[in-house]
Amino acid sequence: MAKEDKQPGSVLFICNLNAIRSPMAEGLVKALYPGRIFTQSAGVTPGDPDPFAAEVMIEQGIDISGHEPRGLDDLDDITSYDLIIALTQEARQEAEEATRSAATEVEYWDVVDPLATPTGGSRERRLVAYRELRDQLKRLIEKRFGRAARRVG
């Protein structure tokens, strides 16, 4: 059930490296709810851009290929967001610690890690794991934020 009666004005998605999960979630929210929810993403420690993440997102018409991973330290104040959605346990811990004395709501979404999925070495098998994550994130986002303003995919 969507929480449409109490929608946040700003959302920060965080994961470990800001290379796969959080930039995919950021891209989905921006595409599904253009201009409705201010959205950014960050990682506990920034990693390197992931070409598989960009590839599966472009399949849905969402271009995240220009995304530059950033860390929590690169943001001015994470407590200025209405909602932080942590996509890893480490990110959850960091968010809860940083917002302990703030009104910022923190949610944890247990999502697929395409790097931990036993997929073998083939490119297509890896892409399947990334698509599974993308589709899972889209379902969770639509469940949390309600009917999308725009259809994606």
Structural domains present in the chain: 13-141 (3.40.50.2300)
27-50 per-position pLDDT tens digit: 999 999 998 999 999 999 999 999
Name the more confident of 56 and 1.
Answer: 56
* 1: confidence class by pLDDT, cuts 50, 70, 90: very low
- pTM score, whole prediction: 0.91
In sequence order, what DSSP letters do the residues of 72-124 get, joined into one string? GGGSS-GGGSSEEEESSHHHHHHHHHHTTTSS-EEEE-----TTTS---S-HH
Statement: residue 6 has pLDDT above 80: no
88-145 per-position pLDDT tens digit: 999 999 999 999 988 899 999 999 999 886 656 688 888 999 999 999 999 999 999 9
